[in-house]
Structure 1
């Protein structure tokens, strides 16, 4: 029983991180109806920012996460102003190619600066949350548990912002009907800039948190980018609450699949669950 509890708890921990990553993608997708294929590469930039701060100051990645969020907020805004603004209203294929090109640029930029080496912040080098803790008889990595808690806090702050501030409600209005929102006096361009900035900032924070215990390399975002698309589709397009629920679901499925079979097959089980979900409910958990 304790083993099962530990497996599920590990799944919930990873699920909270997946959910945070997917929320950033769902935000941009929901507000602008643009699929951001550079999402995983934004995450990698966040990882490298956290690593660079650690290398320069020995500041723990969990403490450096807000710095990564600020840097990625700027990156997100620049991406919108320099690239996305010019392809708004264009065909879906052009928008996909544009975001894919942004991803390639970021990937190659990280490779040029940091080379292709696999970087890792070792446990003995970390100043906070090293070792493990015992929770109801289960041994949990302290860094992963702290990362999950921070992910939940960041997600909570985000949802409070979206549903309880004027800007957040404007974002919801634009996601529902941009034309009606414009007639109501909402500055669409401003909301799009904020959406891209926030979406990038959230995934940047996720990357900084992951750098605590995950290898850092230029193509690390491919896996997490793919998972985030699955999660958003499973949760329901344009539904940030759906991304939260689906992210946690994927984390638990991965944990159970790793225990029941070879861990290399866990992504296959995620795809299987996704197929079952869309067969039963094509719009996802909370899709409209």
Structure 2
């Protein structure tokens, strides 16, 4: 995939999560990996959740030497009971795991639609449900839902993904209203296209669905609506997540932190 030069990783702002336990889903790669490393660097003990055992082991190795630690937790989020149980006792919850399929609605497999909604909406509900009793008990908690510009805008051929992200926005706001009296904040982070394997895997589907060559997908589809003509780096998203976990964001809740390069300014 042809792309503009990568943007330098942001300089991390001070954040102390020493003594805190964080759970990050989809942690083996992309945004989740960057979030896990960022929170571990801030001192958190990170439960890294993913189906990819090898990716989790590599992540744990990479985290050696950081202030905190990464503990691999192999889990398929379609096992909703196990997901809820995994979140028990966490102080910070980052709902990040996602999947994508690009198809017109009339060609979209119903079982794939169900899976996307399960992993990207129902599993976050169960994870929040599992995490809240501990957060409420101690009077502090941070829920960060990695949404998308597609939580605020729709795109053709992404019915399941757009539906899941729109639902996640509503779930996050509800958790914010319920959690406020207990010192728990809940927010979304809304990036446009991020330089991740999930985006890389869309290229062929996008080319076929739009009837254009793969080398034109980046400029004519992925970056068409963005004023800033580059992909976002995972570390930039992780820094936004870190901000929402810090004391300076204690009054920020029920909102969406948009990192879309001007997409929604249209």
TM-score by length of 2: 0.27
Q: Which has the higher helix share?
A: 1
TM-score by length of 1: 0.25
Q: With a CA cutoff of 8 Å and minimum separation of 6, indicate the structure with the bigger relative contact order.
A: 1
Q: Which has the higher strand share?
A: 2
Larger radius of gyration: 1
